[in-house]
Amino acid sequence: MSYTESIGSRTYRFADLKTLMAKASPQRSGDQLAGVAAASEEERVAAKMSLAQVPLRTFLNEALIPYESDEVTRLVIDGHSPQAFAEIAHLTVGDFRNWLLSSTTDADALTRIAAGLTPEMVAAVSKLMRNQDLIAAARKRPVITRFRNTVGLPGRMSVRLQPNHPTDDVKGIAASMLDGLMYGCGDAMIGINPASDNLAAITKLLVMIDDFRQRYQVPTQSCVLTHVTNTIAAIEKGAPVDLVFQSIAGTEKANAGFGISLALLQEAYEAGLSLKRGTVGNNLMYFETGQGSALSADAHFGVDQQTCEVRAYAVARKFNPFLVNTVVGFIGPEYLYDGKQITRAGLEDHFCGKLLGVPMGCDICYTNHAEADQDDMDNLLTLLGVAGINFIMGIPGADDVMLNYQSTSFHDALYVRDVLGLRRAPEFEEWLESMQITDARGALLSASPQQPLLEGARDWMGIA
């Protein structure tokens, strides 16, 4: 069905819900590149006004990508819970925004309705919200996951220690690991983006991290971010796999471009579960996403990039992930042009993921050809800390020397924890104190040669 909205003497017409959603999106370069963005700010306002009047039920009857041709649409529709939806079924998108921001809507209410929300509903309401609305609503919705520690508790923020190396040099990676741990980072996980997809090299990294973890009894989890088929092969060969990684997108065609399907993800999930390596829980999938991935694969079907992104969270939700990471500025300025667009996208992604019940983190990042700088990242880091982000990245100097992009550093994590009073995962916090890295308040202690981690560093790093 079509939608109309008049402003003054001009009437705007939107051919279908997909078009209305795209025109209502805040300005971003990816939608302009795809030819789906509003032609003017007035048209954008008209689309928002019209979208606010759309009943939430409409999203159950008007699929943006056809049910018959897309397995992500089928996953969303077939998995929808009418019981969970009943509480908000009478609302329009605008009413839903008001309900989310009401002082009477709390974490319990947001948890109750999560299974009744489709990603399109969540994307739609985000388009009507200011940045402060996205922060306020997301903050109400903690999503807690467990493997060897507990991530996502209110008042806590974890860090993925990312010790990448351009040649996968084990000693270089170990040195970056040590650096990050001495700054109190690594409670989300120790996650390496390998330079090579060679199975032997991947296994070598997994064994190195696991040997270190066992030696020092670190309550964290490891991940080598290779294609899911490589991880399955590593599991079959007995490698010590903790978290199973895969990049995902919001359409079947885009996922096919990644070489995956829902069936393959299910196989990987079951392979990970079979190892029974978690000690406090069994959330073990780690997914990465990013606005623009479907567009870059010519697999968006005219749907705006943010709605495609939220559909990826529905894929993630099916597999009870430990962490989901929106790598917000990594794809480039073709999709998020500058610091303002990156900031808005990061807040949208976090809000939408949390509303769907997904444990959201964010790689607060940009590439060097984007109109952005570290001050923009500082702003987004602070806003996401207020919003209750589950985890961020910890990278030496905020400069990834293998992937060649700018992110957040170990020091950035110290900053946001300090100014917002955020703590680490409780099990990891206790370990840091036992290793004399932090005090009982979580503050860093001065390092000494007798500090247990430093004392044994030359040995476990293999330095003579």
**Residues marked as binding for substrate?**
160-162, 193, 288, 363
CA-wise closest residue to 28 among 338, 327, 313: 338
Tokens 């989300």 found at: 188
What residues are designated binding site for adenosylcob(III)alamin? 194, 246, 296, 402
What residues are designated binding site? 160-162, 193-194, 246, 288, 296, 363, 402
Is the CB of residue 55 less than 8 Å from the CB of residue 92? yes
Angle between the N-to-C axes of helices 119-126 and 17-24, in degrees from 0 to 180, rounded to the nearest 10 = 40
CA 18 to chain centroid, in Å, comes to: 24
Tokens 């992009």 found at: 405
CA-wise closest residue to 264 among 326, 318, 196: 318
Q: How far apart are CA 161 and CA 187, in angstroms?
A: 8
Q: How far apart are CA 227 and CA 224, in angstroms?
A: 9
CA distances to 43, 194, 200, 449 from 95, rounded to whole Å, are: 21, 46, 54, 60
Residues in the chain: 464
361-384 burial: b if 16+ Cβ within 10 Å, else e: bbbbbbbeebebebebbebbbbbb
103-122 burial: b if 16+ Cβ within 10 Å, else e: eebeeebbeebbbbbbbbbb
Burial class (CB in 10 A: 0-12, 13-18, 19+), 245: buried
Determine if residue 96 is left, alpha or beta; phi over 0 gives left, psi from -120 to 50 gives alpha, anything else beta.
Answer: alpha
